[in-house]
Structure 1
Amino acid sequence: MNFFTQNKTATIIIAMLIALNVLSIYFFVIHKRIVHKHPFDDQNPPWHEKSKEGKSSEKVHFMEKELGLNKEQRQEYRNLRKSHFEMSRKKRKEQQELREMIFSNISNQSFNIDSVAQLISKRQSEMEIGMFKHFKSIRELCTEEQKLKFDKTTQFILRKMGDHDRFKRSEH
């Protein structure tokens, strides 16, 4: 007789451990992909539409299309958008550098995190103000009819961006 027929308790325990391992693999690998799938995983959000050629430099901007901007409005919109993204990129980079400073000083007993945290908060505040001013500038480009569309579209975009950001944070 072999070990498994003589020791039924050990056989049951080993079978349960194998079953638990299979379930663990399922929940940590397969199930996670299914449950945490974001609605925009298969397709980009509508404000990230690309041209027919798929080139990012020739993106068809959702706001341009949605609002029906004329040629002059489109050019001004693109200028505003470019400067806004440059400012945002710069502020995010500054925030990242400050975060890196915090963690590079984790072993430093005399390091004052409060001052650096305030600087990070200041950059975030500047980004929020910058976003508000950016949207306000775009709205000022619009005709009265376009402003009505803009107001609805902006609320939609901000809601979807918030959903997307929450999803990203929950993955980590």
Structure 2
Amino acid sequence: MKSKLLPILVVILMLMNGVLIFMLLKKSHVNNRSPQERNLLVKELQFTELQNDKFLSFDTVHRENMLRLDQQIRKQKDILFNSFSDGVVNIDSLGLFIGGLAGKKDIEVFRFFQAVRKICTQGQQEKFDKIINKALKAGKKRPPRGRRMRSLKDRKQ
């Protein structure tokens, strides 16, 4: 019985890996913002050629750093959620580590915008500050991604 089950399990696992690879490749376009969206600052601030080149350089490095941090977080979360049966993993320290990585992502975003602001002229910096403040205020008004806001009355029921 076990000898017949092994080849079937191997085939199923291979199919699942193929599906997962397909899903990852298909999903990769979701993380890449369109050039129009990415160049909002370039358009709004009317960057010169030199500023635009520096911005694109900053953007490339920023994306690489964010991707690296996302991969580290994903890896640690995999360890966390695959440890149900182990009992060996210290979930508190792992949770703190994941939180630290999330904090590093926030710092990376801040440093990216700080670098972009430094290449701006005085007038562009004022526009930049307005754009960032507007984006921050808009972000506070939105419900969390993928979830609908429930009213307080609905929560109590």
Please confirm whether the aligned pair reaches a TM-score higher than 0.5, indicating the same fold: yes
What do you get for the CA RMSD once the two structures are aligned? 2.0
Which structure has the higher relative contact order (CA within 8 Å, separation 6+)?
Answer: 2
Q: Which amino acid letter does the alignment assign opposite residue 95 of structure 1?
A: I
Shift of 1:143: 0.3
CA change 1:61–1:161 in 2 (3 A) is farther
What is the aligned counterpart of 1:120 among 78, 92, 98? 98
Q: Secondary structure at the match of 1:93?
A: helix
Q: Which has the larger radius of gyration?
A: 1
Measure, in 2, the Cα distance between the counterparts of 1:145 and 1:49.
27
Percent identity, please: 22
Number of aligned positions between the proteins: 116
Q: Which residue of 2 aligns with 1:168?
A: 145
Q: Which residue of 2 aligns with 1:100?
A: 78
Measure, in 2, the Cα distance between the counterparts of 1:80 and 1:163.
29
Q: Deviations over 1:49-70 (max 9, x none)?
A: 645xxxxxxx660000000110
What is the aligned counterpart of 1:62 among 21, 27, 40? 40
Q: Secondary structure at the match of 1:153?
A: helix
Q: Which residue of 1 aligns with 2:53?
A: 75
Question: Unpaired runs of 5+ in structure 1?
Answer: 1-47, 52-58
Question: Unpaired runs of 5+ in structure 2?
Answer: 1-32, 149-157
Aligned partners of 1:49 and 1:62 also within 8 Å = no
- TM-score of the aligned structures, taking structure 1 as reference length: 0.61
Q: Which residue of 2 aligns with 1:148?
A: 126
Alignment of 1:127-142 (within 5 A): 127-142=105-120
